Amino acid sequence: MLGRPSDTLGRPLRDLRISVTDRCNFRCGYCMPAELFGEHYEFLPRAELLTFEEIERLARLCVGLGVTKLRVTGGEPLLRADLPALIAGLAALPGASDLALTTNGVLLPRLAAPLAEAGLRRVTVSLDSIDEEAFLAMNGGKLSVARVLEGIEAAERAGLAPLKLNCVVRRGVNDHTIVELARRFRGTGHVVRFIE
Ligand code: SF4
C-alpha cells in the first residue's frame, strides 16, 4: 500500500487547491497584466480543462491520501459554467471536512446563494481597495468596486460569513487606501489580510 504523501519537511498533504479555469474577468497587474493577457491571449481550450467528473475523481483520490481541505480557485472560478454542480459533488465527498473558494467577488450576487445551497462553507474574496480609483488601478480598470461590495453582501446573506478578504498591497498604487479598507470591515467579523 502507498504511504501518505508528505513534503520534503515531512508535513502531510492536507490541502488541495483546484483551479477550475485559467480565465478571469479582471486583469490585475500582479497576476494577469493586460499587456500580456490581451484579447489575443490564448487561454486553455475547453477540451483541456478537467471535467467536473475528473475533478471529483481527483479530489476523492486525494482525500483518500489524507487531504481534508479543498479550495476551489482559478483564474476566476465563478466564470466556470455550472460551478454549483461541482461544489455539490465536492461537498458530498466523505472525509473532506472543509470546502472553500477564492473569488474576485463580482459574480457572487448571482452565485453566492446557489453555491451555499450546494454545500460551500467559506469564501475568500480578493479586494485590493474600496477606493474606486485605486481599485481600478489594481484590477486593470475592468469593473467597479461596487460590484465586489455587492458580492460580499450577497455572500453574507447566503450564510458564507465570516469571509476572508485578501488585499494585495502595492506601493504607490493602493497603499494609501488600506486603512480605509480595514476601517470599512472593522467589527464585521470578516478577516482582512494584507499581502505584500
Ligand atoms: S482577480 Fe485574481 S485571478 Fe483575476 S487577475 Fe486578479 S488576481 Fe488574477
CA of 16 to the centre of ligand 1 (A): 19
Choosing from 23, 24, 193 the residue with most ligand 1 atoms within 8 A of its CB, the one to mutate for a pocket test is: 24
CA of 17 to the centre of ligand 1 (A): 15
Q: Residue 43: which residues within 8 A CB-CB, separation 6 or more? A: 22, 23
Instruction: Give average pLDDT by consecutive 10-residue segment, the chain, 196 residues.
Output: 81 96 96 94 95 98 96 97 98 94 98 98 97 97 94 97 96 97 97 95
- In this prediction, residue 2 carries a pLDDT of 60
Q: Would you say the C-alpha torsion 40, 43, 48, 51 has a positive or negative sign?
A: negative
- Output the nine-digit C-alpha cell for 71: 479550495
What's 173's DSSP letter? T
- Please tell me the distance from the alpha carbon of residue 148 to that of residue 171, in angstroms, as a whole number: 22
- In this prediction, residue 4 carries a pLDDT of 84
Q: State how beta strands 69-73 and 15-19 pair.
A: parallel
Q: Is the CB of 37 under 6 A from ligand 1?
A: no
- Please tell me the distance from the alpha carbon of residue 166 to that of residue 191, in angstroms, as a whole number: 8
CA of 12 to the centre of ligand 1 (A): 29
Q: Is the CB of 31 under 6 A from ligand 1?
A: yes
Helix (H) or strand (E) holding 194: strand 191-195
- Please tell me the distance from the alpha carbon of residue 156 to that of residue 168, in angstroms, as a whole number: 22
Choosing from 32, 72, 127, 145 the residue with most ligand 1 atoms within 8 A of its CB, the one to mutate for a pocket test is: 32
- Domains of the chain and CATH, by start: 15-195 (3.20.20.70)
Cβ atoms of 115 and 101 within 8 Å: the answer is: yes
